[in-house]
Amino acid sequence: MAGVCPLWMQTLSFFIALHPDNESMKQPASIIFLLLMMTMAHFSCSSGACVDETVPSVKAVIFSSSTGKVVSCDSIIVTAPGVNGDTVLVKEKSVSNFIFTLDPSNTVSRMVFKFNNIKDTVTITYTTSPYFVSDVCGYTFCHSITGITSTDNIIDSIKLADKSVTTNVKSNLRLYY
Q: Identify whether the C-beta of residue 82 lies closer than 8 Å to the C-beta of residue 112.
A: no
Any idea what DSSP says for residue 65? T
Q: At 165, which amino acid appears?
A: V
Domain ranges in the chain? 6-45, 58-176
Per DSSP, 17 falls in state H
CA-angle at 117, arms to 115 and 119, nearest 5°? 65
Which residue numbers in the chain have pLDDT < 50? 1-4, 6-9, 11-12, 14-15, 18
Going by C-alpha positions, the residue among 156, 148, 147, 149 that lies closest to residue 175 is: 156
Query: For position 36, what pLDDT does the model report?
Result: 54
Characterize 92-106 residue by residue with b for buried, 16 or more Cβ atoms within 10 angstroms of its Cβ, and e for exposed. eeeeebbebebbbee
How high is the pLDDT of residue 2? 45
Give the pLDDT score at 33.
55
pLDDT at 125: 97
